[in-house]
């Protein structure tokens, strides 16, 4: 039995708002039709309040993944507040506990207590943590966050509802603005961001750590402003990116990069490729070892020796390639402003490192393939007997 006290304000709002949003928008569209402004207000507020949560509450305030100008912080607090997911002091405190105690009893939205609990059930109850900011003293001291907590309700009403209503009024549809940019948007953004606590701890792959339930799903990133790469995020929480490859859909990462370009964000934390590779190899090694635990000791020992050697080779090949890429990039950067006499030597060096980069890249790919073959062989241990004997 759950002995936490019910938070009636949250419970009533979270129950009534979705029903009201569906009925009222339905009735509104039936009577007044749809206007392009409704869509524009919805989409703009969807982006702004979503970024307030993911780029602001989450990656900046909770994880300190980057620093930014106070005006940007204020923007995050105003529009993040308008997402109605509580003020940042409590949101970020709870989120830091989620990372520290993930899946344990103390995790505020532990998936181990069920999908519904992790998604929304936990919000129906008083946390019992009140003003305890042991995990977030830095935020508790921050005057901007204290300001947001003090004026939370006016922020919600003004930024979350009055602002879209006022924009809607420009085309004679204030109630349309209120509905699409306010009520309907709040419900949708809430449930999409709640999915990070539920779906992202439930379905997907775990390439970087199997020590917790957080999972990577590329498709979830499309609904969560890029936060679908949750296994990576739990392993490297201080990284400003969740989707680390350029083709990973992570609009929050692009938003932060945009702020950097404008000079409004700095000190973006980005984990080095070698650490990321290490985490991946560690995870695969753990899975392989679990598989080998059931094999004859002699065979397991022999496999372990081969795995260790392949891993060492792979890491060495990766380092060689990364170093060459760095050297080549340096040479390219210093290409201009050289004396004509030194130019030929310089061009030769540059060409040399270009070739080396490609060569080491191929060597890395080969080492990767060797490792992958070995891992695949280990994973088939029980179905095909002893493949490498
Ligand atoms: Zn999580
Ligand atoms: Zn996080």
Is the distance from CB of 99 to CB of 238 less than 8 angstroms? no
Geometric angle at alpha carbon 11, from 26 and 105, rounded to 5°: 130
Mean pLDDT of the chain: 93
Does the structure show a pLDDT above 60 at 384?
Answer: no
Confidence of residue 3 (pLDDT cuts 50, 70, 90): confident
* Distance of CA 98 from the midpoint of ligand 2 (Å): 8
Confidence of residue 337 (pLDDT cuts 50, 70, 90): low
Strands (E), the chain: 67-68, 265-266
Does the structure show a pLDDT above 90 at 111?
Answer: yes
CB burial class (10 A; 0-12, 13-18, 19+) of residue 296?
Answer: exposed
Q: How far apart are CA 117 and CA 114, in angstroms?
A: 5
Same structural domain, 122 and 240: yes
Does residue 312 or residue 3 have the better pLDDT?
A: 312
Stretch 245-272: mean pLDDT? 97
Same structural domain, 188 and 115: yes
210 backbone φψ class: left, alpha, beta (φ>0; ψ -120 to 50): alpha
Q: How far apart are CA 243 and CA 228, in angstroms?
A: 8
Residue 1 covered by a domain: no
* Distance of CA 63 from the midpoint of ligand 2 (Å): 7
Does the structure show a pLDDT above 80 at 102?
Answer: yes
Distances (CA, A) of 86 to 20, 92, 136: 20, 10, 16
| Closest ligand to Cα 236 | 2
* Distance of CA 18 from the midpoint of ligand 2 (Å): 26
Stretch 207-226: mean pLDDT? 96
Domain of residue 22 covers: 8-266
Is the distance from CB of 144 to CB of 74 less than 8 angstroms? yes
* Distance of CA 369 from the midpoint of ligand 1 (Å): 32
**C-alpha 192, offset from chain centre:** 13
* Distance of CA 92 from the midpoint of ligand 2 (Å): 9
Residue 223 covered by a domain: yes
| Closest ligand to Cα 215 | 1
* Distance of CA 324 from the midpoint of ligand 1 (Å): 36
* Distance of CA 351 from the midpoint of ligand 2 (Å): 43
| Closest ligand to Cα 199 | 1
Q: Helix, strand, coil % (nearest 5) of the chain?
A: 70, 0, 30
| Closest ligand to Cα 195 | 1
Give the Cβ contact number of residue 276 at 10 Å.
18
pLDDT at position 53 = 98
Same structural domain, 249 and 211: yes
Residue 388 covered by a domain: no
Stretch 319-324: mean pLDDT? 95
User: Across the chain, which distance is largest between two alpha carbons, in Å?
Assistant: 81
CB-side neighbour CA atoms (13 Å) of 212: 24
* Distance of CA 150 from the midpoint of ligand 2 (Å): 25
Residue 52 covered by a domain: yes
Confidence of residue 349 (pLDDT cuts 50, 70, 90): confident
pLDDT tens readout for residues 261-276 = 999 999 999 999 999 9
Q: How far apart are CA 168 and CA 152, in angstroms?
A: 23
Backbone angles phi, psi at 96, to 5 degrees: -65, -40
| Closest ligand to Cα 102 | 1
Which pTM value belongs to this model? Answer: 0.91
Same structural domain, 226 and 374: no
* Distance of CA 256 from the midpoint of ligand 2 (Å): 16
SS3 of residue 229 by DSSP? strand
Task: Pick the closest to residue 375 from 327, 323, 303 (CA basis).
Answer: 303
Confidence of residue 389 (pLDDT cuts 50, 70, 90): very low
Residue that is last in its domain, among 239, 266, 293: 266
Same structural domain, 112 and 180: yes
| 166-203 per-residue burial string, b: 16 or more CB within 10 A, e: under 16 | ebbeeeebbebbbbbbbbbbbbbbbebbbbbbbbbbbe
Residue that is last in its domain, among 266, 288, 307: 266
* Distance of CA 125 from the midpoint of ligand 1 (Å): 19
Residue 384 covered by a domain: no
As given in the structure block, the two tokens for residue 316 are 């060495």
pLDDT at position 61 = 98
Same structural domain, 125 and 39: yes
Same structural domain, 91 and 213: yes
Confidence of residue 379 (pLDDT cuts 50, 70, 90): confident
Stretch 194-198: mean pLDDT? 96
| Distant-in-sequence, close-in-space partners of 284: CB < 8 Å, separation ≥ 6 | 371, 375
* Distance of CA 106 from the midpoint of ligand 1 (Å): 13
* Distance of CA 58 from the midpoint of ligand 2 (Å): 6
Same structural domain, 342 and 245: no
Residue that is last in its domain, among 227, 242, 266: 266
Stretch 297-308: mean pLDDT? 92
Stretch 126-135: mean pLDDT? 90
pLDDT at position 4 = 83
Domain count, the chain: 2
| Distant-in-sequence, close-in-space partners of 325: CB < 8 Å, separation ≥ 6 | 357
Same structural domain, 261 and 281: no
Same structural domain, 290 and 231: no
61 DSSP β-pair partners? none
* Distance of CA 239 from the midpoint of ligand 1 (Å): 14
| Closest ligand to Cα 91 | 2
Confidence of residue 341 (pLDDT cuts 50, 70, 90): low
Residue 119 covered by a domain: yes
As given in the structure block, the two tokens for residue 74 are 């204020």
State the residue for tokens 């992790």: 118
Residue 389 covered by a domain: no
* Distance of CA 252 from the midpoint of ligand 2 (Å): 13
pLDDT at position 335 = 66
Does residue 334 or residue 131 have the better pLDDT?
A: 131
Task: Pick the closest to residue 136 from 88, 186, 68, 206 (CA basis).
Answer: 88
Residue 190 covered by a domain: yes
241 backbone φψ class: left, alpha, beta (φ>0; ψ -120 to 50): beta
216 DSSP β-pair partners? 205, 229
Same structural domain, 213 and 179: yes
* Distance of CA 128 from the midpoint of ligand 2 (Å): 21
Backbone angles phi, psi at 323, to 5 degrees: -65, -40
pLDDT at position 333 = 81
Confidence of residue 383 (pLDDT cuts 50, 70, 90): very low
Same structural domain, 103 and 85: yes
């Amino acid at each position: 039995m759950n002995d936490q006290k019910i938070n009636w304000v949250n419970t009533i709002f979270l129950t009534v708002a979705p029903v009201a949003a569906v009925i009222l928008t339905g009735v509104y569209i039936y009577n007044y039709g749809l206007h392009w402004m409704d869509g524009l207000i919805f989409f703009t507020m969807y982006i702004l309040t979503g970024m307030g949560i993911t780029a602001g509450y989450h990656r900046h305030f909770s994880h300190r993944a980057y620093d930014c100008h106070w005006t940007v912080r204020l923007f995050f607090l105003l529009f993040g507040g308008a997402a109605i997911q509580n003020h940042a002091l409590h949101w970020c405190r709870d989120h830091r506990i989620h990372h520290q105690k993930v899946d344990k009893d103390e995790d505020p939205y532990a998936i181990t207590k069920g999908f519904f609990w992790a998604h929304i059930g936990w919000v129906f109850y008083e946390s019992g943590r009140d003003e305890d900011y042991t995990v977030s003293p830095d935020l508790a001291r921050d005057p901007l966050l204290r300001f947001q907590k003090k004026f939370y309700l006016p922020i919600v009403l003004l930024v979350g509802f009055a602002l879209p209503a006022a924009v809607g009024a420009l085309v004679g549809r204030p109630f349309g603005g209120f509905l699409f940019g306010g009520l309907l948007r709040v419900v949708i953004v809430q449930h999409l961001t709640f999915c990070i606590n539920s779906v992202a701890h439930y379905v997907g792959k775990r390439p970087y750590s199997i020590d917790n339930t957080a999972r990577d799903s590329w498709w979830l990133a499309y609904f969560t402003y890029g936060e679908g790469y949750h296994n990576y995020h739990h392993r490297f929480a201080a990284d400003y990116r969740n989707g680390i490859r350029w083709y990973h859909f992570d609009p929050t990462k692009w938003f932060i990069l945009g702020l950097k370009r404008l000079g409004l964000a700095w000190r973006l934390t980005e984990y080095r490729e070698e650490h990321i590779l290490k985490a991946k190899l560690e995870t695969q090694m753990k899975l392989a070892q679990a598989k080998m635990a059931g094999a004859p000791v002699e065979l397991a020992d022999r496999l372990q020796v081969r795995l260790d050697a392949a891993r060492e080779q792979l890491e060495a090949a990766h380092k060689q390639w990364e170093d060459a890429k760095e050297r080549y990039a340096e040479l390219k950067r210093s290409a201009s402003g050289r004396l004509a006499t030194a130019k030929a030597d310089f061009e030769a060096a540059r060409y040399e490192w270009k070739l080396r980069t490609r060569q080491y890249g191929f060597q890395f790919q080969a080492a990767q393939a060797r490792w992958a073959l070995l891992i695949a062989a280990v994973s088939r241990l029980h179905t095909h007997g002893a493949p490498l004997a």
